[in-house]
C-alpha cells in the first residue's frame, strides 16, 4: 500500500479510500422550490451568534439583513424569503439542542426575487473594502466548517500571504456539490478567487481538485484561460492542479502537503506558511454575491444516499426544513417502523440528526439518507476488543496512534492521551474508525476525550 502510494506520488501518507459513491456527479444543479416557511438559526457558524434586528410580525424582503452583530467572529444573516417574521425563539437545531432561530413565513405569491441587493463596483476597491463587503454577505465556509470567511481571509498585520489555496477536493464520499459548482459556475469561482486574492494580497491561487473530477479540472482550466485572455487578471496567477483522490485530501493540511510537499506545523495555521485556504463553494458564492451586493440566502446542497429517489445537487434556500427537502427529493413513503438515518454533511464526518424539523444552514454541504437496510450490515458488525492490527495507525493522516489512544480512552486516562499521544492533533476525520476491523467507535471516544480535556482546561 505504502509502496503503491509512493509510486503514485500520493502526497500525504496514510489516509483511506472509501468507495466514492458520487451518485450525483453528472446531474445539473437544480433549484429546490421555496418552502412555505423557513427557520434561520442565529448561530450557523463558528463564533458568536448575531442578534436579530427584526420583530415578530415584521415584513421582510428576500435578502434583507435580519440579524447582525459587531463582533469580529460573527456574520449577519439575511432573509432567505420575502415574508413575515412569524416567530423568534427556540427551534430544533442540528446538534440535538434547540437553538435561537427566526422563523419566516413566505408571502404567498411573492416573486422571491432578491430585491434588496445593490450592485456595486468593486474593481477599484481596496482589500479592506472587499473584506468588509465579504463580511456583509454573511459568508462562512460552505465546505462544512462554517468559519466566517472574512475572518479567514483577513491577514494579521505581521503576516504576509502569497498564495490562496482553493480547495476543490471534495474528498467525502457521496458529496458532489463542489464538483457541480466548479463545472457549472467556473466563472463565478474565478471572480471569487480574484476577490479573495485582492483581499488577502496573494499573488497566486492554486485550485486543488481531486483527480476523480477530470471534467472539473478541464472546465476550470478553460475558464481560466478564457478569463485570463480577456485580461481579467494577470495571466498565470491562477492554476488548477489535480491532486490524488484519497480521503481526507480535502483537509487543509493534507491539501497543502499534496501541493507543496510541506507539512504544516502541528497546531499551526496555513497563514504561518503564507497561505490561506478556502473552499470552492465559498469562493464561487462570493464571486456571484459580491458584485450584486447581496447576502448569502441560498447554497448548493447535495441530497443523496440510497434512501433518496431523486438524488441531486439542489440550490436550497437557507432555513428550508429537512422535511421539505426530503419530500421534494423523494424519500419514499415512510412506514413508521422503517427506521432510517439522515446525515448532514458527508458520511465520514457528517452529523446524524434526530429531527426532520432541522433546517438547512450555511455549513450543510450534503443531506444523506440511508435506509435501514443500508445500515444493517454495519449494525450487525460485532464489536471486538482492539486486536492491535495496526490498521488505524496506518490510516491516520495525522500520524497518531489511534489504537493506543482508544485503549487509553477506555481506561479514561485522558491526560495521557493529550500529553503523550497528541490527541489534540486529531481532527476527527474518521479514518481510524472506518478501517477498524474490531468496529471500535474510536472517533467518538476521541471526541468525548477532547471535550473532557477542554472542560478540564477551562476549569
Partner 1 sequence: MTQPLIEIRSAPHVQGPKSVETIMRHVVYSLLPICAFYVFQYGISALASILVVTAACLFAERYFVRTGTQAGRLSDYSAVITGLLLALTLPPGFPLWMGAVAGLVAIALGKALFGGIGFNVFNPALVGRAFVQAAFPTAIATYTPSFLAGRFTEFIPSSLAWPLMIPADAAIWLKAKNLDALAGATPLAKWKFDGVLANAGDLLTSLSGNMAVGPAPVLILVCGAYLALRRFMDWRIPLAIIGSAALTAWLLYAFDGVRYPNPFFMLFSGGLILGAVYMATDMATSPVTPKGMWVYGALIGLLTVVIRYYSGLPEGVMYAILIANAASPLIERITQPVPFGRGVLDRAKKRATYPLNPGYISREEASAVTPKKRFLPKKPKK
Cα–Cα dist 14/57, whole Å: 55
| Residue 440 touches ligand SF4, criterion: CB under 6 A | yes
Strand runs labelled E in 309-457: 312-317, 340-344, 351-352, 366-371
258 binds ligand SF4 (CB under 6 A): no
Closest CA to 359 of 284, 286, 428, 297: 297
| Residue placing its CB nearer to partner 1 in the complex, 147 or 247 | 247
* Shortest distance (Å) from residue 261 CB to ligand SF4: 20
406 binds, among partner 1, ligand SF4, none (CB under 5 to 8 A by kind): ligand SF4
Q: How many CA atoms lie within 13 A of 9 on its CB side?
A: 8
Minimum distance, C-beta of residue 417 to ligand SF4, in the bound complex (Å): 10
Q: Tell me the CA end-to-end span of the chain in Å, nearest whole number.
A: 44
What number of CA atoms fall less than 13 Å from residue 425's CA on the CB side?
A: 18
Phi, psi of 443 (to 5 degrees): -60, -40
Nearer to partner 1, 243 or 285 (CB): 243
Shortest spacing between CB 386 and ligand SF4, in angstroms: 3
How far apart CA 65 and CA 78 sit, in angstroms, is 4
Given candidates 398, 408, 417, 449, which one binds ligand SF4 under the rule CB under 6 A?
Answer: 398
Q: Contacting ligand SF4 (CB under 6 A), which of 17, 372, 388, 456?
A: 388
Q: Total residues contacting ligand SF4 (rule CB under 6 A)?
A: 29
Question: Are the C-beta atoms of residues 369 and 340 closer than 8 Å to each other?
Answer: yes
Q: CA-based Rg of the chain, rounded to a whole angstrom?
A: 22
Nearer to partner 1, 278 or 403 (CB): 403
Which triple of cell numbers denotes residue 247?
A: 480521503
The three cell numbers locating residue 240 = 488548477
Q: Which is nearer to ligand SF4, 333 or 380 (CB)?
A: 380
CB nearer partner 1, residue 204 or residue 315: 204
327 binds, among partner 1, ligand SF4, none (CB under 5 to 8 A by kind): partner 1
Q: Are 167 and 208 in contact (CB under 8 A)?
A: yes
Residue 317 or 440: which CB sits closer to ligand SF4?
Answer: 440
Asked if residue 205 lies in contact with residue 235, where contact means CB atoms within 8 angstroms, the answer is no
CA of 254: how far to CAs of 208, 247, 341, in Å?
11, 9, 30
385 phi and psi angles, rounded to 5 deg: -65, 160
CA pair distance 162, 272, nearest whole angstrom: 11
Helix (H), strand (E) at residue 323: helix 322-329
Torsion of CA 217, 221, 227, 230, to 10 degrees: -160
Among 209, 308, 391, 409, binds ligand SF4 (CB under 6 A): 391
CB of 255 to partner 1, least distance (A): 11
Rounded least distance, CB 157 to ligand SF4, Å: 32
Rounded Cα distance between 18 and 93, Å, is 29
Nearest Cα neighbor of 68 from 51, 90, 46, 80 is 51
249 lies in the site for ligand SF4, by CB under 6 A: no
Contact 146, 281 (CB under 8 A): no
Residue 115: name its binding partner from ligand SF4, partner 1, none (Cβ under 5 to 8 Å by kind).
none
Question: Which positions from 329 to 368 touch ligand SF4 by CB under 6 A, shown as an x/- string?
Answer: ----------------------------------------
Query: Smallest distance from the beta carbon of 399 to partner 1, in angstroms?
Result: 4
290 lines the binding site for ligand SF4 (CB under 6 A): no
By a kind-dependent CB cut-off of 5 to 8 A, residue 244 interacts, out of ligand SF4, partner 1, none, with: partner 1
C-alpha cell recorded at residue 349: 464526518
Q: How far is the CB of 379 from ligand SF4 (least distance, A)?
A: 18
- From partner 1, ligand SF4, none, interface partner of 409 (C-beta below 5 to 8 A by class): none
The correct pick among 175, 318, 417, 436 for binding ligand SF4 (CB under 6 A) is 436
Find the shortest distance in angstroms from Cβ 275 to ligand SF4.
21
Question: Measured from the CB atom, is 64 or 176 closer to partner 1?
Answer: 176
- What number of helices (H) and strands (E) belong to the chain? 15, 17
> Closest distance between partner 1 and the C-beta of residue 38, in Å?
18
Minimum CB–partner distance for residue 58 and partner 1 (Å): 31
* 224 vs 426 by CB, closer to ligand SF4: 426
Enumerate binding residues for ligand SF4 (CB under 6 A): 386-392, 396-398, 400, 402-403, 406, 426-432, 435-438, 440, 442-443, 446
Amino acid at each position: 500500500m505504502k509502496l503503491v502510494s509512493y509510486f503514485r506520488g500520493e502526497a500525504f501518507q496514510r489516509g483511506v479510500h472509501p468507495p466514492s459513491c458520487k451518485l450525483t456527479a453528472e446531474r445539473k444543479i437544480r433549484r429546490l422550490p421555496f418552502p412555505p416557511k423557513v427557520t434561520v438559526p442565529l448561530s450557523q457558524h463558528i463564533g458568536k451568534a448575531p442578534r436579530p434586528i427584526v420583530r415578530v410580525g415584521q415584513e421582510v424582503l428576500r435578502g434583507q439583513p435580519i440579524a447582525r452583530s459587531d463582533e469580529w467572529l460573527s456574520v449577519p444573516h439575511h432573509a432567505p424569503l420575502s415574508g413575515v417574521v412569524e416567530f423568534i425563539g427556540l427551534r430544533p437545531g442540528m446538534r440535538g439542542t434547540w437553538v435561537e432561530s427566526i422563523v419566516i413565513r413566505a408571502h404567498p405569491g411573492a416573486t422571491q426575487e432578491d430585491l434588496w441587493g445593490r450592485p456595486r463596483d468593486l474593481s477599484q476597491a481596496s482589500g479592506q473594502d472587499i473584506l468588509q463587503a465579504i463580511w456583509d454577505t454573511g459568508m462562512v465556509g460552505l465546505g462544512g466548517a462554517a468559519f466566517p470567511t472574512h475572518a479567514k481571509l483577513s491577514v494579521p498585520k505581521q503576516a504576509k500571504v502569497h498564495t490562496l489555496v482553493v480547495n476543490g477536493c471534495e474528498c467525502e464520499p457521496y458529496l458532489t456539490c463542489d464538483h457541480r459548482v466548479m463545472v457549472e459556475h467556473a466563472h463565478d469561482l474565478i471572480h471569487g478567487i480574484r476577490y479573495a486574492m485582492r483581499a488577502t494580497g496573494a499573488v497566486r491561487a492554486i485550485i486543488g481538485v481531486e483527480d476523480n473530477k477530470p471534467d472539473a479540472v478541464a472546465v476550470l482550466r478553460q475558464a481560466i484561460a478564457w478569463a485570463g485572455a480577456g485580461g481579467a487578471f494577470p495571466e498565470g496567477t491562477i492554476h488548477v492542479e489535480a491532486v490524488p483522490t484519497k480521503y481526507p485530501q480535502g483537509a487543509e493540511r493534507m491539501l497543502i502537503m499534496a501541493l507543496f510537499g510541506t507539512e504544516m506545523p502541528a497546531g499551526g495555521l496555513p497563514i504561518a506558511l503564507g497561505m490561506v485556504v478556502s473552499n470552492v463553494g465559498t469562493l464561487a458564492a462570493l464571486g456571484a454575491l459580491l458584485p450584486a451586493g447581496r447576502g448569502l440566502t441560498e447554497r448548493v446542497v447535495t441530497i443523496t444516499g440510497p434512501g433518496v429517489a431523486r438524488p441531486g445537487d439542489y440550490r436550497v434556500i437557507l432555513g428550508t426544513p429537512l422535511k421539505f427537502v426530503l419530500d421534494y427529493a423523494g424519500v419514499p413513503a415512510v412506514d413508521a417502523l422503517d427506521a432510517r438515518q439522515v446525515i448532514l454533511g458527508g458520511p465520514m464526518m457528517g452529523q446524524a440528526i434526530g429531527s426532520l424539523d432541522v433546517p438547512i444552514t450555511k455549513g450543510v454541504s450534503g443531506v444523506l439518507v440511508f435506509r435501514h437496510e443500508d445500515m444493517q450490515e454495519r449494525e450487525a458488525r460485532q464489536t471486538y476488543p482492539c486486536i492491535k492490527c495496526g490498521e488505524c495507525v496506518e490510516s491516520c493522516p495525522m500520524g497518531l496512534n489511534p489504537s493506543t489512544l482508544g485503549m487509553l480512552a477506555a481506561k479514561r486516562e485522558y491526560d495521557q492521551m493529550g500529553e503523550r499521544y497528541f490527541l489534540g492533533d486529531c481532527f476527527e476525520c474518521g479514518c481510524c474508525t472506518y478501517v477498524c476491523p474490531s468496529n471500535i467507535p474510536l472517533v467518538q471516544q476521541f471526541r468525548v476525550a477532547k471535550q473532557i480535556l477542554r472542560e478540564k482546561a477551562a476549569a
